[in-house]
Amino acid sequence: MEWRTVVVIVLVVSLCFFMVPIRVGPDKNAEDIKLFVDYVARYNKSYRHDPPEYNERFDRFQRSLRHIERMNGFRSSQESAYYGLTEFSDLSEDEFVQRTLLPDLSSRGQMHKAASYYHRHTKNTNNRSERETNVPPKIDWRDKGVVGPIQSQEICGACWAFSTIGVAESMYAMKNGTLYPFSVQEMIDCMPGDFGCQGGDICSLLSWLLTSKTKIIPESAYPLTRRDDQCKLLKLSAKTSGVGITDFTCDSFADAEDELLALLASHGPVAAAVNAISWQNYLGGVIQYHCDGSFSSLNHAVQIVGYDLSAGIPHYIVKNSWGTAFGDKGYLYISIGSNLCGIANQISSAEVD
């Protein structure tokens, strides 16, 4: 065999070895395309016949897929949070914030820190063990029939109204034995300041309801439209009975979550401002990681309807307002003890007449 032939054979074999890594592994792009086609059909996305937007959404969809893979990689147990495709998976992070969250919620919350109704709770090691002993291992107010059904705010940024009215409904049910739906739309239309679907905050709403003695009327009398409209309260209040806020709190338990647990156990569901930026692809399980708890990151409002200290990962039970398709039939779970997602930064409770 000539030496030239030997050299050629050696080169060909060598090139084959160098080329192997390029061909290893599945074709991610092909897999992603198939997933996206199914995703667009499942959620009936309006851009299915708009090629430019379709391509843009596919790029954002792929970023969500890679993010989902990373987040699921942090799972430490079967109870840990898990992530997958949601109706929000084709949005950029900025779009997700603008469509579902309240970017300026933390700045709104700052003004309450100087108010007389605001209190910052801190750890008290002398009484802590006694409080923890007196707190039941699990409280789920849903089991007691005092938590209303999951609702969807859709593109209306009124999470602040949904969570506040949810608390009022729970307080009324605990006091009177009947779970009665009250009007979220009344808050959207009538709260001073023209916040509406553009955003408001829980503490300001409760303060207005208390000082103005405005009655919260039934949902049946003032139904939900999820859009800003003129306030109809003057036309309705004379002939419609309602419930009033007689007292409320707007506190920080960021350094005293044991006191927050005691409040949930003894008083009932509360409203909370949170950071929901990492919830875009949440499907279920207990959130334990990568959810900033700083006050400046608050951007959403929810209702805490219980907790479970007996679970493998002790957690809060959180009622959201993104419909039953989100998370665990509209609910999610957040680990207790490290102010994850800012869950304890701004907590509001209420009393009704």
Name residue 95's amino acid.
Answer: E
Contacts of 27 by beta carbon, 8 Å cutoff, 6+ apart: none
Catalytic residue among 156, 159, 203, 250: 159
Catalytic residue among 320, 339, 341, 345: 320
Q: In the chain, count of helices (H) and strands (E)?
A: 11, 11
Q: How many CB atoms lie within 10 A of CB 63?
A: 15
- Reply yes or no on whether 345 is catalytic: no
Catalytic residue among 112, 121, 300, 315: 300
Secondary structure (3-state) at 124: coil
Contacts of 316 by beta carbon, 8 Å cutoff, 6+ apart: 304, 306, 307, 333, 334, 336, 343
Q: What are phi and psi of 98, to 5 degrees?
A: -70, -35
- Reply yes or no on whether 320 is catalytic: yes
Tokens standing for 106? 């933390």
- Reply yes or no on whether 290 is catalytic: no
Q: State the DSSP string of 286-321.
A: EE-SS----GGG--EEEEEEEEESSSSS-EEEEE-S
Q: Give CA–CA dist 32/65, Å, rounded.
A: 8
Q: Give CA–CA dist 294/299, Å, rounded.
A: 11
Give catalytic residue positions.
159, 300, 320
